[in-house]
Chain A
Amino acid sequence: MTEIPKEEMLLKCPSTCAGCGSLLALRYILKAAGKDTVLVIPACCNSVIQGVYPYMLHTVPVYNIAFAAAAACASGMSEAFRAVGKKTNVIVYAGDGGTADIGIQALSGALERGEDFLYICYDNEAYGNTGMQRSGATPLGAITTTTPNGKTVNKKDLDRIIEAHNLPYQATACASYPADIYNKVKKALSIPGPKFIHILAPCPPGWRTPSEKTVEIGKMAVKSGIWVLWEKEYDKFTISAPSRAAMKKPSPVVDYLKAQGRFRKVDDATAAKIQAQVDKNLKKIAAEAAYSEENA
């Protein structure tokens, strides 16, 4: 059983939308990281959630930076801390647009250089802060304000792009599984060099789901296999417990789609296409885990 500290690192009454998945995730990220931590936040929902000057939600320093700049800012900060002998955790907390789209160059550069910080992308699958426009991480079929009839192309496979940089630690997580997030952040911060965690963060207004359903929707994503929890420590690839259980008999993806207003224009053919993609991906992931185990 994971012992998660009771101490809260976020103050009360944040200005999030009700049921915000990204804040739920951040709550456990900070519990795992502790006080000797600086958050670097590019333009995203979380640069608003933190509050308006001079007030602040967090009990660790937060450095806001331009949209494309998070990973480069963390690089400079981490190098400076290490140069003066400080072990302070530098954690980027960025949305999917700031990671998969506009911020990917700086992120790729930092990963290639082997900078010592943890980059966490909370993925609500659209530009939430500006009112839900499509991003590269928006999935096929999802309605956004710039894809009013549903997105016609697939979600960018960010994890495979990150993986190509051969970093020492990489994981996926979901806001609905706090203990899994806590453990992964703890492990990531124990490893020197670049670390990346990709967290699915359900977004009630964007996904058009009831505020109280955030945890449930995230669990449906994992149970259907459309979102798989795994971690990769150097070459050791492991499927995390909730997904291991789910992959024995994944629930139909259509249940996950039907639970959200953003997928209401998905027709049967598109639903079948999404299911086929999920099936294929699950096979690939199972094979990768098996290969990793055999070659351990």
Chain B
Amino acid sequence: MSDKLVMSTGNKAMAAAVKMVKPTVVAAYPITPQTEVIEAIAEYVDGGEMTARYIPVESEHSAMTACIGASITGVRVFTATSSHGLLYMHEMLHWAAGARLPIVMGQINRTLAPGWNIWAEHSDALSQRDTGWLQVYVSTVQEAYDATIMAFRIAEDNRVLLPVMINMDGFLLSHIMQPFEMTEPGDFVPQISLPHKIDVNDPKGYGAMSPSDIHFTFRHDMEKAMRASRTVIAETEAAFAKRFGRSYAPIEEYLCDDADVVIVAMGTLGKEAEVAADLLRKEGVKAGVMRIRWLRPFPVDMKIEGKDLVVIDRDYSFGFGGVVAGEIQARYPQAKIASVIAGLGGQEVTYEDMANFVRTRKVGTEFWFGIPSEEQ
């Protein structure tokens, strides 16, 4: 496999990855900032570079439903959305996961109205946290490409058979250009083989009324698959590293081994935080970064013993707190967390700001970046 170094936006890199894994059906509805993904795919299909059936549906609800209808026949499917589009799919996200369909979706993170705002925020995806989808958050164009390829292999693994959502910060990554290696995956993503695909010679009912005890078992099976996906993700990322030389982990750690304080964030903020850690190190502060990539399944082995955590949430659960901070605290009750809410609605957060969050941190409190302290 020869890698080609190309310049691309995050959106176009994701579309290129989708082309490489050859889905049979793509159903999509346009929404900013996702549009470039589905425009690129439409161009591939129209231009004969891709043989997929492209279904230009009339809504996101139908986009996810068309993916469900196609997926149950046993073929590979893809869609992409953002923000309100994701929310409009909400009902069908449950349906896709509950039906154990390995649908892969590009999800370009954007805040929610009102007021209208098209910029980055993770509230859209985090409000879909409990739908049974795997969620990965990427931070570079390269990672958007690589994660998209790996997502198909993970979703379609018979130990998983759950849908995967690849999250990418709107504009901050979807629309910025970076060089990346356009690796041809070859047979890295094996041919799909859905065990419960529709077969007219073996007719079955799908999604029929299920008695409580059986329904309970179905739900437990989903959780077992979520747990199994940790192994499949690890295997897939290891196999990817071995074959293509780029390695990823559920939590990307930067200078964490000897760190006294660690910035925890997802997506582009998590990458930018590495620069903040470098700056702090020059000041003699032993700082590190943990960038959470896979939020579902949630990481079970965060090495946080003896460290302060500055968790930056580009999201908020009203009446509760930052979602990621809350998740970490729930999973690791001993965690010493200074919660920072920053970047909502595309608010600019620089590495210098992040270094300041570390310098002024107060463990056990919540700080809203940009709001005067007397109003907090």
Contacts and interface: CB of A to CB of B under 8 A. Distances in A.
A78 to B, nearest CB: 8
Contact of B75 (A75, A78, A84): A84
Interface stretch (B50-58, B129-137, B143-151): B50-58
Contact of A112 (B58, B69, B70, B72): B58
Given A79-B70, A84-B75, A109 B205 contact: no
B69 A53 contact: no
A69 B92 contact: yes
A175 interface: no
A76 B198 contact: no
A243 to B, nearest CB: 33
A88 B95 CA distance: 23
Nearest to B67: A76
A69 B198 CA distance: 18
B208 interface: yes
Contact of A69 (B55, B65, B71, B209): B65
Interface string B327-369: 0000000000000000000000000000000000000000000
Interface in A27-80: 35-38, 40, 47-48, 50-54, 56, 58-66, 68-69, 71-80
Contact of A64 (B25, B59, B207): B207
Contacts of B199: 61
B198 A61 contact: yes
B62 interface: yes
B61 A58 contact: no
Contacts of B67: 76
Contacts of A73: 65-66, 68-69
A81 interface: yes
B208 A51 contact: yes
Pick from B74, B77, B198 the residue with the most CB of A within 10 Å.
Answer: B198
Interface size class of B (residues with CB under 8 A): 35 or more
B267 to A, nearest CB: 30
Contacts of B65: 65-66, 69, 72-73, 76, 106
A291 B67 CA distance: 42
A76 B209 contact: no
For the residues of B in contact with A, the DSSP-based class is mixed
B24 interface: yes
B204 interface: yes
A83 B95 CA distance: 23
A112 B95 CA distance: 25
Contacts of B63: 72
A74 to B, nearest CB: 6
Nearest to A112: B58
Interface string B229-256: 0000000000000000000000000000
A71 B62 CA distance: 8
Interface string B253-267: 000000000000000
A105 interface: yes
A61 B203 contact: yes
A108 interface: yes
Interface string A181-225: 000000000000000000000000000000000000000000000
Interface size class of A (residues with CB under 8 A): 35 or more
B214 interface: yes
B62 A109 contact: yes
A56 B70 contact: no
Contacts of B214: 53-54
A82 interface: yes
B27 interface: yes
Contacts of B71: 76, 80
Contacts of B206: 61-64
A4 B6 CA distance: 63
A52 B200 contact: no
Contacts of A38: 198, 200
A283 interface: no
Nearest to B24: A83
B73 interface: yes
Contacts of B48: none
A79 B51 CA distance: 12
29 contacts: A47-B208, A50-B208, A51-B208, A56-B203, A56-B204, A59-B203, A60-B203, A61-B198, A61-B200, A64-B205, A65-B68, A69-B62, A71-B62, A73-B69, A74-B69, A76-B25, A76-B27, A76-B68, A76-B69, A76-B70, A79-B70, A80-B24, A80-B75, A83-B25, A84-B73, A105-B61, A105-B62, A106-B62, A108-B58
Given A69-B62, A76-B55, 20 more contacts: A37-B200, A47-B208, A51-B208, A53-B209, A61-B206, A63-B198, A64-B207, A65-B207, A72-B57, A73-B68, A74-B69, A75-B55, A76-B65, A76-B70, A77-B69, A79-B66, A84-B73, A88-B200, A106-B65, A112-B58
Interface of A: 35-38, 40, 47-48, 50-54, 56, 58-66, 68-69, 71-84, 86, 88, 105-106, 108-109, 112-113
